[in-house]
């Protein structure tokens, strides 16, 4: 059963704490992406990785960090430097470095209080 | 700067009617235009996509119309059903620049199909 898994579905943290969101794919896709979704804002790219051990900043990378040590995994850390971390976070992957189709995971809703 | 402008923000359509969502762009380098459908609490899923060398693409009840000269494209949902109620996002891909092949998304349209 191939796909993208994100865990957990809901995550609660206190302000000032770092938190890591998990994203795993078993589609053998080369490229992986992290998006943030806020009501009425669409999807905004945080980071993306086209190959293992390489990643690039997207439009809103400040306050976030990522790693890509394995092809199937692309965890996102929301640091305490992110001023407004409460949001719905979506992970996606695409078969090659050219994203003709991005497959999305189910998302993680992060609430920071 | 918003590179893909989507309208309307929300749309209410009667069952059986036609839903129309519009997107406009400025970057003539965009070379791929997908539409995604998202149900509440779920990730978006690709619905249909078009390249700028064709003016229309149809898949079942879903049609993309593309006007290259006007830099606009639209999604038409024929015979809209309550199960189509979701948020729809248009997107565009830029093959040039440092962030090559990234997708830029519109802000989304929340469609409600009422019985």
Nearest to B105 among A42, A48, A106 (CB): A42
Which pLDDT does position A95 carry in this prediction? Answer: 84
CA distances from B22 to A17, B35, B69 (A): 41, 11, 15
Summarised one tens digit per residue, pLDDT across range B18-63 is 999 999 999 998 989 999 999 999 999 999 999 989 999 999 999 9
Q: What is the mean pLDDT of residues A10-17?
A: 92
Answer whether B43 touches A (CB < 8 Å). yes
- Please check the confidence at residue A11 and state whether its pLDDT lies above 80: yes
Answer whether B30 touches A (CB < 8 Å). no
In angstroms, what separates the C-alpha of B78 from chain A's closest C-alpha?
24
Which pLDDT does position A10 carry in this prediction? Answer: 95
Which pLDDT does position B101 carry in this prediction? Answer: 67
The residues, ordered by sequence, that sit 6+ positions from B83 with a Cβ below 8 Å of its Cβ are B113
> A48, A112 in Cβ contact below 8 A?
no
Answer whether B49 touches A (CB < 8 Å). yes
Nearest to A102 among B99, B103, B107 (CB): B103
Answer whether B50 touches A (CB < 8 Å). no
Summarised one tens digit per residue, pLDDT across range B61-80 is 999 999 999 999 999 999 99
- Chain B partners of A100 at a C-beta cutoff of 8 Å? 32, 49
Answer whether B115 touches A (CB < 8 Å). no
CA distances from B103 to A10, A55, A104, B3, B114 (A): 26, 16, 13, 11, 31
> B70, B76 in Cβ contact below 8 A?
no
> B58, B5 in Cβ contact below 8 A?
no
The residue assigned the tokens 């945080």 is: A46
Spell out which chain A residues touch chain B, with contact meaning CB-CB distance below 8 angstroms. 4, 40-45, 48, 56, 58, 90, 92, 97-107
In angstroms, what separates the C-alpha of A104 from chain B's closest C-alpha?
5
- Please check the confidence at residue A92 and state whether its pLDDT lies above 60: yes
Q: What is the mean pLDDT of residues A100-111?
A: 91
Please name the residue of chain A whose CA is at the shortest distance from the CA of residue B109: A40
Is B93 in contact with A99 (Cβ distance < 8 A)? Answer: yes
Gap between the Cα atoms of A34 and B92, Å rounded: 17
Summarised one tens digit per residue, pLDDT across range A16-72 is 999 999 999 999 999 999 999 998 888 999 999 988 999 999 989 999 999 999 999
CB pairs under 8 A between A and B: 52
Q: What is the mean pLDDT of residues A82-97?
A: 90
Summarised one tens digit per residue, pLDDT across range B77-109 is 999 999 999 999 999 988 776 556 688 999 999
Q: Specify the higher pLDDT residue, A102 or A74.
A: A74
Which pLDDT does position A101 carry in this prediction? Answer: 83
- Please check the confidence at residue B1 and state whether its pLDDT lies above 80: no
Which pLDDT does position A99 carry in this prediction? Answer: 58
Which pLDDT does position A79 carry in this prediction? Answer: 94
- Please check the confidence at residue B2 and state whether its pLDDT lies above 80: no
């Amino acid at each position: 059963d191939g796909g993208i898994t994100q865990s957990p579905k809901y995550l609660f943290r206190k302000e000032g704490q770092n938190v890591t969101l998990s994203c795993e794919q078993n589609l053998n896709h080369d490229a992986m992406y992290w998006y943030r979704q806020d009501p009425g804002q669409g999807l905004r790219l945080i980071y993306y990785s086209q190959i293992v051990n390489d990643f690039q900043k997207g439009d809103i990378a400040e306050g976030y960090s990522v790693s890509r040590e394995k092809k199937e995994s692309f965890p996102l850390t929301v640091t305490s430097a992110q001023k407004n971390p409460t949001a719905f976070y979506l992970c996606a992957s695409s078969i090659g470095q050219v994203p003709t189709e991005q497959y999305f995971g189910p998302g993680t809703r992060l609430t920071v209080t | 700067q918003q590179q893909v402008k989507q309208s309307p923000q929300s749309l209410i359509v009667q069952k059986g009617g036609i839903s129309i969502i519009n997107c406009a762009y400025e970057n003539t380098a965009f070379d791929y235009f997908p539409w995604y459908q998202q149900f509440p609490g779920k990730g978006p899923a690709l619905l249909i996509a078009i390249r700028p060398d064709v003016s229309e693409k149809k898949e079942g009840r879903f049609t993309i119309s593309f006007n290259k000269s006007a830099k606009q494209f639209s999604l038409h949902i024929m015979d809209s059903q309550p199960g189509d109620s979701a948020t729809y996002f248009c997107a565009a891909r830029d093959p040039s620049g440092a962030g090559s092949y990234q997708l830029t998304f519109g802000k989304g349209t929340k469609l409600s199909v009422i019985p």
